[in-house]
Amino acid sequence: LAVIRDRIEELRGLMKERQVSAYLVPSADPHHSEYVPEAWQRRKWISGFTGSSGDVVVTLDRAGLWTDSRYFLQAEKELEGIGIELFKMGCPDVPDLVTWIAENLRTGDSLGADPQLVPQGRAEETCRLLLRRGIGVKWLEENLIDILWKNRPALSAAPITLQGVEYSGESLEQKLARVREQMKAENVRIHIITTLDDIAWLFNIRGQDVAFNPVAVAYAIVTQENAKLFIDPNKIPDSVSESLRDSVQILPYGQFKGELSGHAKKKDRVWVDPAGVSRWITGIIEEGCDLLYKRSPVTVFKSIKNDTEISGFRNCHIRDGLAMVRFLSWLKRTAAQGGVTEISAAETLDAFRKEQDLYQGPSFVPISSYAAHGAIVHYRATPETDVEIGPQGLYLIDSGGQYLDGTTDITRTVALGSPTEEQRDRFTLVLKGHINLALASFPRGTKGIQLDTLARLPLWDRGLNYGHGTGHGIGSYLNVHEGPQTLSHSTGVDVALEKGMFLSIEPGYYKEGEYGIRIENLAYVVQDEARTTESLEFYRFETVTLCPIDLALILPERLTRQELLYLNRYHERVRETLSPHLSGDDRQFLEDATRPL
Amino acid sequence: LAVIRDRIEELRGLMKERQVSAYLVPSADPHHSEYVPEAWQRRKWISGFTGSSGDVVVTLDRAGLWTDSRYFLQAEKELEGIGIELFKMGCPDVPDLVTWIAENLRTGDSLGADPQLVPQGRAEETCRLLLRRGIGVKWLEENLIDILWKNRPALSAAPITLQGVEYSGESLEQKLARVREQMKAENVRIHIITTLDDIAWLFNIRGQDVAFNPVAVAYAIVTQENAKLFIDPNKIPDSVSESLRDSVQILPYGQFKGELSGHAKKKDRVWVDPAGVSRWITGIIEEGCDLLYKRSPVTVFKSIKNDTEISGFRNCHIRDGLAMVRFLSWLKRTAAQGGVTEISAAETLDAFRKEQDLYQGPSFVPISSYAAHGAIVHYRATPETDVEIGPQGLYLIDSGGQYLDGTTDITRTVALGSPTEEQRDRFTLVLKGHINLALASFPRGTKGIQLDTLARLPLWDRGLNYGHGTGHGIGSYLNVHEGPQTLSHSTGVDVALEKGMFLSIEPGYYKEGEYGIRIENLAYVVQDEARTTESLEFYRFETVTLCPIDLALILPERLTRQELLYLNRYHERVRETLSPHLSGDDRQFLEDATRPL
């Protein structure tokens, strides 16, 4: 505790030197990644708060942390006695971060912040709101935390690998050609790419710099004439540099700034993605350049999987399904005997995945949650919270794997012992919602927000709901959360679903203090041949996840004929695909778990 | 033809004098109304095009009109031989207006435009895009068309009336107090109101300056201390000015500009609605004032009807239902004998409405369309297109009335003779969609875009769809189209539905060259008591429109039990409410038209 308090005092000393009355420490990195490399986890260092999301502001006499409902409990515990106030975002009467700064600083005061860590849009909004109260923003090039943080871990130097065309389905040259075509149409000379998975996709490379996301820390600049990759050269094995040589100029990460300044001098027209570009970048180029703020063509191309990637997804889901079935079979045999905990169960599942070809590691921290823990949507079992999975109750496991040929994300909820009638009722409603969406046909141009409702209808009809989106995009051996497409009523609402986009379908139901239910499969958008006419193109989903849905939790009489047919056909496909690769107890388990209702 | 060509040449002369190479003539007025008063229909004057939507640009050697698909045929006809090119918006390879200007002007050239007719958002976007090509925008205070247009009609001087509390349910003072509370919360000194129906609602006045919308041309400025209404004083009868005197200062319309300049000098913080504020207004105040761009609280308050307004809606829908039933009964008896045309039918319906208490006139131009005309979504029968309603085929009538106690908007599709199996099939799908939405339960916070899908599902399931939104908001003896709420996937997508909001539910199906189907009722949002729990509030719709849905077009075996129950109960309610007020043939018609299936 004293360590953290000392750090905050040291920061205040520096703030006085730099003449700022408040300093912003966001949980962000220069690439606005969902997972931040250890070397850039400054928010954790200054506050002790370990959650993945939350911003700290330190003033000369106060300090606050803003985080969302996922982390209320954890933040309360971790901030205890440290002198940082917790602001629960979204709760009534809780001021947002900027309002709080405006109220705690005086006219003429300044907020200090690292422009690398603030996206352009947020920077503009913050400046605008503070200016209204006569408060300025100082963009300090040098990060104040970095000055104080002795023994800050170095950025990873782990080597990158090539993602061969056998998995990516498209060469670097072809991808660059498509990007350049878009650039030409927009009449821009250069395109700046800052998002790590966009860079990994475009250059057909993968890295190890960030947990769970196989990406490398880098910037890229594409022009009609060349493509420059700014990355620690020590990470590039000879074989990789040889392969990139013809199309890509590899430069040290630190030279990115100088390159930007050069473009600013040339007054180029530059394409930047408003979601990824930091205030630091726009600050360097905005004077000289004419900026086009528009979603990167790389983000759009990446979201639409080609035939090779689709095959990869189908193939890795067979292997992932085998790991899941062996896990569920093991759980059913073992849990009743006692001794299996949330953490040990997740470890066992990972061990089954490790036996599969092309497996590279988990795609996110698994949510392995028993009984009441299942109602905590983003639960993460720690040694302190870990409990034994008992002989009765619901167990929810949300997990995924990174394979060279694709990324998986699956949730299954299973009953230990005999489920209650209420649990079967709620599970059946969630299943009906899942099937509603999985079977949906929709015209070209339909956005995810228009379909999100389908998964909720059976719950709404009973006065119930769930507090998260219905689905997210997913990368191909890349980030488990990938935009721009979603099945949600709050994000990605302007994005039409396109053929080749992959999405999770994951409705749920949560009863606080008792249990959680979620059924998640991955699916991709295909043409609906049966409904498409000359005048109107229809799309539908094709599910790739292969794993039984617990029959013990279903009330078959509550399913429509169509729903029952869907379930039985799905289970038949799971059985026929996986069964040949299984034997003994596991095979028997699968036979039983996929029997027709 | 020659007249129009001469006008364009005269305009070019003026353009040369003012040193602009292009001049924009939008179909807009300073208040951005859906219907533009005759005196401001400059686009019609310069082009001869009479459609309600379409912008003209004249350069020194070319001229173009941009309009949407509703008006393609009409514009082609009306522009023939005039020398104005038609640009069909939304068609492939058709440049948008700004792109076309950029391509037809040279660096250093300027576009001229009247800042009163361009909303701030559009002005910014236009300037930004043209600047990229080195083209400037000159905001010319004097409208060039007005200079040329001899005998331009005067603005209406029709008197305004008070909308008494017996219909509005809330006094002007109470409304002002609520607006001022919001202004205080936003820390603004003044709020500028430019939208005519917002002004009518706030001051509890109604006017006759615009067709179909009972509004008066005016501006308003509200501060904590006073409220100023800028309006032609000749329009205010003594009784009205007496009633407003205590709370409102009435000033001539022309003094609005001076008032704005005064606020600019005082450097006030000003609230303007980005949807309604023109470049002219922001041009006057932007230098001095700190502007808050946010939807007007008046727009939000107006959209949520109070108990008095809800009663008014229920009551006027009984009267409107009686007019509709008498009309449908008459049509059934008369059409087969011949001699009834689209126009004469619409006139007859209006005559039935005129017999009802509190009727003030139609709420929009009725769409009275027989057979193939029904497939033209925004069809308007003219003497040239008018056809006799034959003994066979579908007839679609979309119409509405303005009553002192509310506004109606209803569409019914009826079969003359025997409908085909296909027509019954499609009608049944549209009806299923309508009922899906009418019966929906949804948690508080749900937006219209999340529900729009429900009305489409039965059509989507069969590879069909319709090309318009599912529903719009509606005013209380005000505009038939009122925001911000919608049931649409393209507009109002960020607006949560609130208790007391009225919406139309109007799915359809259109077969080009053959027939059109639409079933439209008005409904409002109420608490769903049956589903609301302590932790989750649910809403549902309550339908107010009372008129039979043609049973001859329904395939009862295709309705679910729930849908059949809904239909029978609806018809029972229609019969029990309207029947006591009818007699003879009309009563007999209603009995038959509402018999249970």
Is the pLDDT at B581 greater than 90? The verdict is: yes
pTM for this predicted structure: 0.93
> For position A34, what pLDDT does the model report?
87
> For position A553, what pLDDT does the model report?
98
Distance CA A518, CA A508 (A): 4
Please name the residue of chain B whose CA is at the shortest distance from the CA of residue A442. Answer: B460
State the sign of the Cα–Cα–Cα–Cα dihedral B12, B18, B24, B25: negative
| Better pLDDT: A478 or B34 | A478
At B290, the pLDDT band (50, 70, 90 cuts) reads confident
At A179-189, the pLDDT tens digits run 999 999 888 99
SS3 A377: coil
Read off the amino acid at residue A367. Answer: I
Q: In the 3-class helix/strand/coil scheme, how is A501-521 assigned residue by residue?
A: EEEEECCEEEECCCEEEECEE
| Mean pLDDT to the nearest integer, B39-43 | 96
Read off the amino acid at residue B570. Answer: Y
Chain B hits for A490, Cβ within 8 Å: none
- ipTM value for the complex: 0.90
Please name the residue of chain B whose CA is at the shortest distance from the CA of residue A493. Answer: B493
Across the beta sheet with A367-370, the strand order is A367-370, A393-399, A410-416
Cβ-Cβ contacts under 8 Å between A and B: the total is 67
| Mean pLDDT to the nearest integer, B224-246 | 95
Cα A260–chain centre separation: 29
What are the CA-CA distances from residue A386 to residues A381, A389, A597 (Å)? Answer: 5, 9, 35
Is the pLDDT at B132 greater than 80? The verdict is: no
What are the CA-CA distances from residue A122 to residues A26, A125, B128, B494 (Å)? Answer: 12, 5, 21, 20
Q: Which residues pair with A113 in a beta bridge?
A: A139
A505 and A496 in contact (C-beta within 8 Å)?
A: no
Q: How far is B420 from chain A (nearest CA, A)?
A: 21
At B267, the pLDDT band (50, 70, 90 cuts) reads confident
Q: What are phi and psi of A285, to 5 degrees?
A: -105, -15
- Out of A441, A446, A465, the one facing B461 most closely (by C-beta) is A441
- Out of B269, B441, B461, the one facing A460 most closely (by C-beta) is B441
> For position A187, what pLDDT does the model report?
87
* Whether B440 and A460 lie within 8 Å, measured CB to CB: yes
Chain A hits for B443, Cβ within 8 Å: 460, 465
* Residue A52 tokens, joined: 């993945």
Q: How far is B403 from chain A (nearest CA, A)?
A: 35
Is the pLDDT at A412 greater than 80? The verdict is: yes
| Mean pLDDT to the nearest integer, B373-402 | 94
Question: What is the CB-side half-sphere exposure of residue B207 using CA atoms within 13 A?
Answer: 25
B469 and B452 in contact (C-beta within 8 Å)?
A: yes
> Quick one: which H or E segment has residue A590?
helix A584-593
Chain A hits for B538, Cβ within 8 Å: 460, 463
Distance CA A241, CA A256 (A): 18
| Mean pLDDT to the nearest integer, A545-574 | 98
What are the CA-CA distances from residue B366 to residues B212, B331, B396, B472 (Å)? Answer: 11, 16, 10, 16
> For position B411, what pLDDT does the model report?
98
- Out of A132, A290, A441, the one facing B460 most closely (by C-beta) is A441
According to DSSP, residue A388 is labeled: B
B571 and B596 in contact (C-beta within 8 Å)?
A: yes
Distance CA B219, CA B216 (A): 10
Q: What are phi and psi of B519, to 5 degrees?
A: -125, 110
* Residue B152 tokens, joined: 């331009």
Read off the amino acid at residue B142. Answer: E
Distance CA B91, CA B88 (A): 6
At B45-95, the pLDDT tens digits run 999 999 889 999 999 999 999 999 888 888 999 999 999 999 999 888 899
Is the pLDDT at A394 greater than 90? The verdict is: yes
* Whether A132 and B465 lie within 8 Å, measured CB to CB: no
Tokens 């029997």 identify what position?
A: A595
Distance CA A309, CA B101 (A): 43
Is the pLDDT at A29 greater than 90? The verdict is: yes
At A300-329, the pLDDT tens digits run 999 999 999 999 999 999 999 999 999 999
Tokens 């408040």 identify what position?
A: A22
> For position A186, what pLDDT does the model report?
87
Q: In the 3-class helix/strand/coil scheme, how is A225-282 assigned residue by residue?
A: CCEEEECCHHHCCHHHHHHHCCCCEEECHHHHHHHHHHHHHCCCEEEECCCCCEHHHH
Cis status of the peptide bond prior to B580, with omega within 30 of 0: no
Distance CA A523, CA A454 (A): 15
Q: Which residues pair with A137 in a beta bridge?
A: A111
* Whether A530 and B463 lie within 8 Å, measured CB to CB: yes
Non-local (6+) Cβ contacts of B50 within 8 A are B44, B74, B78
> For position B90, what pLDDT does the model report?
83
Chain A hits for B429, Cβ within 8 Å: none
Q: Which residues pair with B413 in a beta bridge?
A: B396
* Whether B441 and A452 lie within 8 Å, measured CB to CB: no
Chain B hits for A531, Cβ within 8 Å: 460, 462-463
B75 and B54 in contact (C-beta within 8 Å)?
A: yes
Chain A positions with Cβ closer than 8 Å to B = 132, 290, 440-443, 446-447, 449-454, 457, 460-465, 489, 493, 528, 530-533, 536, 538
At A7, the pLDDT band (50, 70, 90 cuts) reads very high
Q: How far is A512 from chain B (nearest CA, A)?
A: 11
Start-to-end C-alpha separation, chain B: 57
Mutate to test the interface with A, among B449, B532, B533, B537 (most CBs of A within 10 A): B449
| Mean pLDDT to the nearest integer, A35-60 | 95
> For position A543, what pLDDT does the model report?
98
- Out of A442, A449, A460, the one facing B442 most closely (by C-beta) is A460
Among candidate residues B97, B109, B78, B163, the one with its CA nearest the CA of residue B382: B78
| Mean pLDDT to the nearest integer, A124-141 | 90
| Mean pLDDT to the nearest integer, A537-554 | 98
What pairing do the DSSP bridges indicate for beta strands B227-230 and B249-251?
A: parallel
* Whether B452 and A451 lie within 8 Å, measured CB to CB: no
* Whether B132 and A290 lie within 8 Å, measured CB to CB: yes
Chain A hits for B532, Cβ within 8 Å: 463
Chain B hits for A443, Cβ within 8 Å: 460, 465
At B443-475, the pLDDT tens digits run 999 999 999 999 999 999 999 999 899 999 999
* Whether B447 and A489 lie within 8 Å, measured CB to CB: yes
Strands (E), B26-123: 55-59, 63-67, 85-88, 110-113
Distance CA A196, CA A218 (A): 7
* Whether B450 and A447 lie within 8 Å, measured CB to CB: no
Helix runs in A304-387, H state only = 307-334, 342-354
Q: Helix A120-131 to helix A97-104 angle, to the nearest 10 degrees?
A: 30
B508-511: which pairs have CB atoms within 8 A and are 24 or more residues apart? B508/B377, B508/B411, B508/B430, B508/B466, B508/B468, B509/B426, B509/B427, B509/B429, B509/B430, B509/B459, B509/B464, B509/B466, B510/B374, B510/B375, B510/B377, B510/B466, B510/B467, B511/B375, B511/B426
A504 and A465 in contact (C-beta within 8 Å)?
A: no
Among candidate residues A53, A22, A15, A23, the one with its CA nearest the CA of residue A35: A53
Q: What are phi and psi of A494, to 5 degrees?
A: -105, 10
SS3 A314: helix
> For position A515, what pLDDT does the model report?
97
Is the pLDDT at B303 greater than 90? The verdict is: yes
Is the pLDDT at A132 greater than 80? The verdict is: no
Mutate to test the interface with A, among B436, B489, B491, B495 (most CBs of A within 10 A): B489
